[in-house]
């Protein structure tokens, strides 16, 4: 072979790679409102916008069947896509499911997977309308595409945040990452001693966060009821820091996040401590919590300030002020994002 330039994907990272792809695909249909770069693509249907998104889960990369029950996996594969529709302030309507199956799988196993897919379809009120099934020589592959809609004047992108907007996050963070550490530890112990029973009771919350994350459609319905229109939004799949960076980059702003405002459940906190990992780092860099991170104008603060499940964690600031993290003892440091690195 000639000496062609070879760039390792790790050098530019997942987001660098996506940027490079996006550069070559400027939308040519005038009704393509949003192409690559947000939680979903957006297509103009008139009064409504159509939203589409895909997420793929690979055995050995995103899940391990030794501790991921198939119904949970089916549920999660749907929920992570619904979460992206939610992040646009949209309502999911349909999904398609693409499967790559190895001959290790029985009909019953596929049915168990679809039990979870069905549970998610019922919970989020979406229809399974198609897909594709092939064989796979590299473990189970499940890729879901979700289609949703939003009124055109209600769509929320990553790029709409304004200086001084309040940064909010739903639920709590870090649990899914801590839950994964527990599952990995129990698996290692089981492999060393197969007679051992996994001890998961004490960790039910964090393990549940990893195995059956919920998409926050409840919050999207509440935004409507409360008359809240977020200025920007993203779902937390990669960790708070990385998602906050996306809002900053696309909105052309900086951010200040307060350590003592980051919501972390007691069990996440205690379990992180058991592993000697900083609970804040789990929230900032862990990922897979599938909560919503969004900004609102100061005028909307009254509407959320007493909400039990929406937490104000900081505010957007001018880009030149940077992305800052204010520690518990009031030190201002630069916010770091590690995020998930699959490459």
For ligand ADP, which stretch binds (CB under 6 A), given 30-38, 91-99, 113-121, 169-177? 30-38
* Element containing residue 278 per DSSP (H, E): none
CA end-to-end span of the chain, whole Å? Answer: 25
Q: Which residues contact 99 (CB under 8 A, 6 or more apart)?
A: 110, 113, 131, 132, 133, 134, 140, 141, 142, 143
How far apart CA 335 and CA 324 sit, in angstroms, is 5
Report the SS3 class of residue 322. coil
* 55: partner contacted, choices Mg ion, ligand ADP, none (Cβ within 5-8 A by kind): ligand ADP
Distance separating alpha carbons of residues 85 and 216, to the nearest angstrom:
10
Among residues 170, 237, 285, 295, the one that binds ligand ADP under rule CB under 6 A: 237
Segment 69 to 128, residues that bind ligand ADP, using CB under 6 A: 84
Cβ closer to Mg ion: 49 or 203? Answer: 49
User: Which residues, numbered 207-266, are part of the site for Mg ion (CB under 5 A)?
Assistant: 235
| Nearer Cβ to ligand ADP (72/246) | 246
Inter-axis angle of helices 217-226 and 70-86, nearest 10: 30
**Site residue total, ligand ADP (CB under 6 A):** 9
Distances (CA, A) of 265 to 168, 245, 271: 16, 23, 10
Could you say whether residue 39 binds ligand ADP (CB under 6 A)? Answer: yes
Q: Is 237 annotated as a binding residue?
A: yes
**Closest C-alpha to 229, from 309, 173, 168:** 168
The secondary structure of residue 321, as a DSSP letter, is G
d(CA 92, CA 77): 14
Establish if 289 lies at the interface with ligand ADP (CB under 6 A): no
User: Pairing state of beta strands 91-101 and 48-58?
Assistant: unpaired
Three-state secondary-structure class, residue 243: helix
Closest CB to Mg ion among 74 and 90? 90
Q: Find residue 233's DSSP bridge partners.
A: 294
Near Mg ion by CB under 5 A, which window of 79-87, 94-102, 109-117, 118-126? 79-87
Work out how close the CB of 42 gets to ligand ADP at its nearest, in angstroms, rounded to a whole number.
10
Query: Does residue 36 interact with ligand ADP by CB under 6 A?
Result: yes
Residue 236 vs residues 154, 185, 309, 340: alpha-carbon distances, Å: 20, 24, 15, 11
Which residue, 223 or 245, has its beta carbon nearer to ligand ADP?
245
Question: Does 55 participate in binding ligand ADP (rule CB under 6 A)?
Answer: yes
Task: Residue 60: name the closest of 128, 122, 138 by CA.
Answer: 138
Out of 38, 39, 165, 300, the only residue in the binding site for Mg ion (CB under 5 A) is 39
Closer Cβ to Mg ion, 33 or 70, answer by number: 33
Query: Would you give the DSSP letter of residue 89?
Result: T
Tokens 């399974």: give the residue. 128
Measured between alpha carbons, how far is 37 from 21 in angstroms, rounded to an integer? 11
Find out whether 288 is annotated in a ligand binding site. yes
38 binds Mg ion (CB under 5 A): no
Q: Binding to ligand ADP by residue 263, rule CB under 6 A?
A: no
Contacted entry of ligand ADP, Mg ion, none for residue 186, CB cut-off 5 to 8 Å set by kind: none
Judged by CB, which is closer to Mg ion: 85, or 272?
85
Closest to ligand ADP by CB, 144 vs 166, is 144
- For the annotated binding site, the residues are 39, 53-55, 62, 84, 114, 131-132, 158, 235, 237-238, 288, 340
- For the annotated binding site for ATP, the residues are 114, 131-132, 158, 237
> What does the binding site for ligand ADP look like in residue numbers (CB under 6 A)?
18, 21, 36-39, 55, 84, 237
> What does the binding site for Mg ion look like in residue numbers (CB under 5 A)?
39, 84, 235
- For the annotated binding site for Mg(2+), the residues are 39, 53-55, 84, 132, 235, 238
């Amino acid at each position: 072979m000639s000496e062609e330039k070879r760039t390792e994907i790790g050098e530019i990272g997942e987001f660098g790679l996506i940027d490079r792809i996006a550069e070559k695909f400027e939308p040519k249909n005038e009704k393509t409102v949003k192409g690559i770069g947000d939680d979903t693509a957006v297509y103009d249907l008139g009064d409504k916008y159509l939203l589409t998104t895909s997420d793929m889960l690979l055995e050995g990369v995103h899940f391990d069947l030794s501790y991921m029950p198939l119904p949970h996996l089916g549920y999660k594969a749907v929920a992570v896509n619904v979460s992206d529709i939610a992040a646009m302030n949209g309502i999911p309507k349909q999904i398609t499911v693409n499967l790559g199956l190895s001959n290790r799988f029985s009909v019953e196993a596929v049915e168990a997977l679809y039990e979870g897919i069905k549970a998610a379809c019922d919970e989020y009120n979406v229809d399974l309308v198609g897909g594709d099934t092939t064989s796979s020589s590299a473990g189970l592959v499940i890729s879901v595409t979700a289609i949703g809609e939003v009124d055109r004047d209600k769509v929320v992108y990553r790029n709409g945040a304004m200086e001084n907007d309040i940064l909010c996050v739903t639920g709590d963070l870090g649990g899914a990452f801590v839950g994964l550490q527990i599952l990995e530890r129990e698996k290692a112990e089981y492999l060393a001693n197969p007679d051992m029973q996994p001890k998961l009771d004490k960790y039910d919350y964090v393990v549940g966060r990893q195995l059956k994350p919920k998409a926050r459609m409840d919050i999207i319905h509440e935004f409507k009821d409360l008359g809240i229109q977020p200025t920007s939004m993203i779902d937390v799949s990669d960790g708070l820091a990385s998602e906050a960076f996306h809002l900053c980059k696309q909105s052309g702003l900086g951010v200040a996040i307060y350590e003592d405002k980051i919501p972390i459940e007691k069990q996440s906190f205690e379990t992180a401590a058991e592993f000697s990992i900083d609970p804040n780092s789990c929230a900032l860099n862990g990922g897979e919590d599938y909560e919503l991170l969004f900004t609102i104008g100061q005028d909307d603060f009254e509407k959320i300030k007493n909400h039990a499940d929406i937490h104000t964690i900081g505010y957007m600031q001018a880009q030149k002020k940077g992305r800052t993290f204010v520690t518990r003892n009031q030190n201002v440091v630069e916010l770091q994002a590690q995020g998930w690195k699959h490459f």
